[in-house]
Structure 1
Amino acid sequence: MAKNQTKRQKKVSASLDLINFDENIFYNIFKKLEADTLYNLRVFCKQWYNLILDPHFANSNLPYAEPGILTQTHAHKGYSLRLIKMKEGKVKVEKLNLYFEEPIRASCNGLVLMKDLPEPGDLSVGNLLTRKGTKLPLETCNLPLHNVFGFTHIKETGEYKIVCQMFDDNIGSIVYKILTLGSNEWRQVKGPQLASNKHEPLSINSCVYSLIIDDEIEEEFLFSIDTADETSHKMALPLFRRPTFICPVDCNLMDLGGEISLVAGFVYNGYAEVWVLYNDQEFFIEKEWTMLHRIYFRVERFGRQDVLQFVVPIGSLCNGKLILFVHADNPFGSCYVADMEMKHVVKMLPNVKANRYHCISHLNSLISCQSL
């Protein structure tokens, strides 16, 4: 009896020592932990709860978060979510046990943009980890929502912005409107209002990108909206060296370690080129395309090497060192990972299925949309 009481007293004493520990030490240790680990630790005591859910701490923890690839697969309950990420040097797949009737449209610093939630026609922002969200004021825009275009963060100001396509009956065409989270004012983007995007848009930092087809000249180009100054821009794609004149090229945009990249797949030739759009602000050089990698799709199967044809990227890991691919003609087929340092080695990931049309870069964070 006395021994058990002594043990309990020691446990209580140890807990009190932790609680009374210098908060600055906890702050510096905790900010380097994964957000999901921190969220579980919040219930230990009131001191930890207040620290972990503090908005300033959430921003301090954000640089240590490792982005993964959020896959969304249609199931009988809706779209099921899985997060592909690097853990302990291996590619792991985490099931999130979340289902939505519509796929998530964009992700930014752990916040996700969702359409038709909580009601059809609504637009909302939420955090998948804390499972808290807020509805956006669509009713303050004088135009009906046509499509969700992007979700960005301006690092210099700390602002989060939503970009949507609206249909203007007065001019009979699409216009782009921007909303800053925390406000009710929708503002029109200055510049070209181009609507016929070929693929799903891609949000990186303060910009949203999309591939557009010019029907008059039958060529693709890059369309972007910079939400920092709320202007739109149009840029030509890089010039590819085709193996043959009739060789089709399948172009896809991708986030490569925080840079916008274009993966040009030479469909029947078993390789792809990775181009990155660099902007050298130090030397005031205009943005230009640079070819970074050429990947040869050869995979070891049953003791022999096969050449993979028509594979498309779904995202990157490890700051762009790994790129994941799936078969374009089979969106639920096998997933392959290409190591950029190895250039041509492609390995198949077992038990990973991904739909190319609903994969976005995502990280877990403690950012709260209520505090913006």
Structure 2
Amino acid sequence: MAEKACKAMSLLKLAEERAMMKKKLEEQKRKQQLDSIPYLPKDCISNILIRLPIESLQRSRFVCKPWYSIINSPTFIRANLIRSENVMMFLSPVKGVFNRWSRSNYQDLDFHENPNTFSVETKIFELKSVHVLNRPLISPSSKYAIKYMVLEEGKSVIRDYNATCLGRIRASCNGLIVLDNVLQKGELVIMNPVTRKLSLLPLGTIYPPHDESYALVHCRAQGYKLVHMFRDESGYIGCEVLQIGEKSWRVINGPAFGLMKWFGYDPVFAIGGLHWVPELDHNEYIVTMTIDDEKFHKITLPKTSRFNDRIMEAYDHLCFVTHEEMHEISIWILGSLSGEAWTKKYTIAVGCIRDLIPLYFSRFKWELYLLDKDGSIFGFDFDDGNMKKLTTMKGCFMIADVSYSLHVNSLVSWQMNENDCA
């Protein structure tokens, strides 16, 4: 009996020794495999990651800790911003099947297109610690999906941030947007739709939307500023500025040019200033606010601006794109605010295509995109002098009647150091 027990113990010990030996051999094999993988320097990995599209970058952050550290570094975020092309951001009515609309089942505004959808208003509730039963009832039919259109390689493609909101887009800069917070009258939200980071802004002067204009700008020395112009009861223009991160707005002197009938189109930020077109048609000048000293100036245009003309930023210059003749579009350039001298850079012969509305210049090549009255989009390449109609891909739609904002997709945060995204 004792002999059998001793034999059993010997077999058990032998099995344990074999198991330990097998485990040791597997660990050695795994270590040899790891040692055989060539080492990639951090700069090399960064150069690979920077070439990924913004959607892939978001997922790549969570591959491993070193990648997370690289992608979230200010140097990488700035490099990604520099490489980002312009897109047209817009709001599209959300379509889908809604849950029963009642306070008893009121969760997350009772609608999500998919489980990954980010709701701006739900995040606001979290920031304000608002209990479900205390949330205001808002019809889900007023909810919008935040989307953008990419114009590239002769095609127009619609893409989705998988984010929804109730308020309109007021301003955009470096990948950040400012939205209305419809849950609190007059309040605004700053957000990056790519990273989905969001913060509430302090309440400013409340005016009807058609009597005010917002612009978000970045200053190397001062960080991000939100500029708010509004027309008071007497018809004169007031102005206030919010330094993002501060708790209150500062009132500054508005343009001392008398009455302004209208703010025109969205302001353009270029060559150190914000530029407004005071009226939509038959305009002789633009209103400019230099960002550093927050002073207003009047700059005379090279010719009278008409309804389909636009001012826009291109290659660190302010451009005036105007319809000179029935079949011609001219590009005027203002290189600096000191001399205020416009130079005609180019004339485009558009042939039988009339009334084209300039959309924006590409950030990386000398190309201008224009919108026809039927919703078609054209691209003019200044290098070869050709005007080409872009192919509309499946899922796109005509944007003639859609309000859009010029935007770039980035990983930028308003909390970053002022020099990180200059």
- Alignment TM class, shorter chain as reference: 0.7 to 0.9
Q: Per the alignment, do residues 16 and 172 of structure 1 end up closer, same or farther by CA in structure 2, a change over 3 Å counting?
A: farther
Aligned to 2:206: 144
Shift of 1:340: 1.6
- Once residues 81 and 34 of structure 1 are traced to their aligned partners in structure 2, the CA distance between those partners, rounded to angstroms, is 16
Instruction: Please say if 1:182 is aligned against 2:245.
Output: yes
| 2:302 counterpart SS class | coil
Aligned-partner residue type, residue 405 of structure 2: I
Q: Per the alignment, do residues 92 and 213 of structure 1 end up closer, same or farther by CA in structure 2, a change over 3 Å counting?
A: closer
Aligned to 1:262: 320
Q: After superposition, what is the alpha-carbon deviation per residue over 1:126-147, rounded to whole angstroms, capped at 9, x for unaligned? A: 1111111111112xx4x32553
Aligned to 1:342: 384
Aligned to 2:103: none
Q: After superposition, what is the alpha-carbon deviation per residue over 1:289-348, rounded to whole angstroms, capped at 9, x for unaligned? A: 1111211224xxxxxxxx1111101112143512111124x4xx2111111223353334
Shift of 1:205: 6.3
Q: Per the alignment, do residues 15 and 177 of structure 1 end up closer, same or farther by CA in structure 2, a change over 3 Å counting?
A: farther
Q: Per the alignment, do residues 350 and 229 of structure 1 end up closer, same or farther by CA in structure 2, a change over 3 Å counting?
A: same
Shift of 1:21: 5.3
Shift of 1:192: 1.4
Instruction: Please say if 1:308 is aligned against 2:357.
Output: no
Instruction: Compare the two structures and name the one with the higher helix fraction.
Output: 2
Q: What aligned pairs does 1:44-63 form with structure 2 within 5 A after superposition?
A: 44-63=63-82
Aligned-partner residue type, residue 272 of structure 1: I
Unaligned stretches of 5+ in structure 2?
1-21, 95-142, 418-422
Aligned-partner residue type, residue 61 of structure 2: R
- Once residues 15 and 129 of structure 1 are traced to their aligned partners in structure 2, the CA distance between those partners, rounded to angstroms, is 37
Aligned to 1:232: 296
Instruction: Compare the two structures and name the one with the higher strand fraction.
Output: 1
- Once residues 99 and 15 of structure 1 are traced to their aligned partners in structure 2, the CA distance between those partners, rounded to angstroms, is 47
Aligned-partner residue type, residue 334 of structure 2: L
- Once residues 33 and 94 of structure 1 are traced to their aligned partners in structure 2, the CA distance between those partners, rounded to angstroms, is 19
Q: Per the alignment, do residues 17 and 117 of structure 1 end up closer, same or farther by CA in structure 2, a change over 3 Å counting?
A: farther
User: Considering only CA atoms, is the larger Rg found in Structure 1 or Structure 2?
Assistant: 2
Aligned to 2:228: 164
- Once residues 15 and 130 of structure 1 are traced to their aligned partners in structure 2, the CA distance between those partners, rounded to angstroms, is 35
Q: Per the alignment, do residues 6 and 182 of structure 1 end up closer, same or farther by CA in structure 2, a change over 3 Å counting?
A: same
- Once residues 32 and 167 of structure 2 are traced to their aligned partners in structure 1, the CA distance between those partners, rounded to angstroms, is 48
Q: After superposition, what is the alpha-carbon deviation per residue over 1:75-100, rounded to whole angstroms, capped at 9, x for unaligned? A: 355365223144xx554524124444
- Once residues 347 and 120 of structure 1 are traced to their aligned partners in structure 2, the CA distance between those partners, rounded to angstroms, is 42
Q: Per the alignment, do residues 37 and 90 of structure 1 end up closer, same or farther by CA in structure 2, a change over 3 Å counting?
A: farther
Instruction: Please say if 1:295 is aligned against 2:348.
Output: yes
The answer (yes or no) to whether the contact 2:265–2:280 under 8 Å persists in 1 is no
Q: So what's the TM-score if we normalise by structure 1? A: 0.76
Unaligned stretches of 5+ in structure 1?
243-247, 299-306
- Once residues 12 and 363 of structure 1 are traced to their aligned partners in structure 2, the CA distance between those partners, rounded to angstroms, is 45
Structure 1 stretch displaced more, 311-320 or 23-32: 23-32
| 1:43 counterpart SS class | coil
Q: Per the alignment, do residues 236 and 71 of structure 1 end up closer, same or farther by CA in structure 2, a change over 3 Å counting?
A: same
Instruction: Please say if 1:69 is aligned against 2:87.
Output: yes
- Once residues 308 and 297 of structure 2 are traced to their aligned partners in structure 1, the CA distance between those partners, rounded to angstroms, is 22
The answer (yes or no) to whether the contact 2:327–2:350 under 8 Å persists in 1 is yes
The answer (yes or no) to whether the contact 1:315–1:359 under 8 Å persists in 2 is no
| 1:279 counterpart SS class | coil
| 1:262 counterpart SS class | strand
- Once residues 271 and 36 of structure 2 are traced to their aligned partners in structure 1, the CA distance between those partners, rounded to angstroms, is 42
- Once residues 192 and 307 of structure 2 are traced to their aligned partners in structure 1, the CA distance between those partners, rounded to angstroms, is 37
| 2:245 counterpart SS class | coil
The answer (yes or no) to whether the contact 1:208–1:225 under 8 Å persists in 2 is yes
| 1:184 counterpart SS class | coil
Aligned to 2:266: 200
The answer (yes or no) to whether the contact 2:154–2:390 under 8 Å persists in 1 is no
Aligned to 2:131: none
- Once residues 148 and 367 of structure 1 are traced to their aligned partners in structure 2, the CA distance between those partners, rounded to angstroms, is 23
Q: What aligned pairs does 1:3-82 form with structure 2 within 5 A after superposition?
A: 14=34, 22-27=41-46, 29-31=48-50, 33-63=52-82, 65-72=83-90, 74-76=92-94, 77-78=143-144, 80-82=146-148
Q: How large is the Cα RMSD of the aligned pairs? A: 3.6
- Once residues 249 and 80 of structure 2 are traced to their aligned partners in structure 1, the CA distance between those partners, rounded to angstroms, is 30
- Once residues 219 and 35 of structure 2 are traced to their aligned partners in structure 1, the CA distance between those partners, rounded to angstroms, is 41
Q: Per the alignment, do residues 79 and 39 of structure 1 end up closer, same or farther by CA in structure 2, a change over 3 Å counting?
A: closer
- Once residues 69 and 241 of structure 2 are traced to their aligned partners in structure 1, the CA distance between those partners, rounded to angstroms, is 33
Q: After superposition, what is the alpha-carbon deviation per residue over 1:167-215, rounded to whole angstroms, capped at 9, x for unaligned? A: 556x764311111111124223345156522222223464221111399
Number of matched pairs:
336
The answer (yes or no) to whether the contact 1:311–1:326 under 8 Å persists in 2 is yes
The answer (yes or no) to whether the contact 1:253–1:260 under 8 Å persists in 2 is yes
| 1:198 counterpart SS class | coil
- Once residues 16 and 83 of structure 1 are traced to their aligned partners in structure 2, the CA distance between those partners, rounded to angstroms, is 44
